[in-house]
Amino acid sequence: MAKITYVEHDGTEHVVDVKSGMSVMEGAIKNNIPGIDADCGGACACATCHVYVDEAWRDKTGTPSAMEESMLDFAENVEPNSRLSCQIKVSDELDGLTVRMPESQH
In the chain, the largest separation of any two C-alpha atoms, in whole Å, equals 32
Instruction: Tell me if residue 16 falls in helix, strand or coil.
Output: strand
41 counts as binding another protein under rule CB under 8 A:
yes
47 counts as binding another protein under rule CB under 8 A:
yes
78 counts as binding another protein under rule CB under 8 A:
no
Position among 67, 79, 93, 96 found at the interface with another protein (CB under 8 A): 67
Position among 13, 15, 17, 45 found at the interface with another protein (CB under 8 A): 45
- Measured CA to CA, the distance from residue 5 to residue 42 in angstroms comes to 20
Q: Least distance from C-beta 39 to another protein, angstroms?
A: 5
Q: β-pairing, 2-7 with 98-100?
A: parallel
CA-nearest of 64, 63, 65, 51 to 97 is 51
By the criterion CB under 8 A, which residues form the site for another protein? 22, 26, 29-30, 32, 34, 37, 39-47, 67, 70-71, 73-75, 104, 106
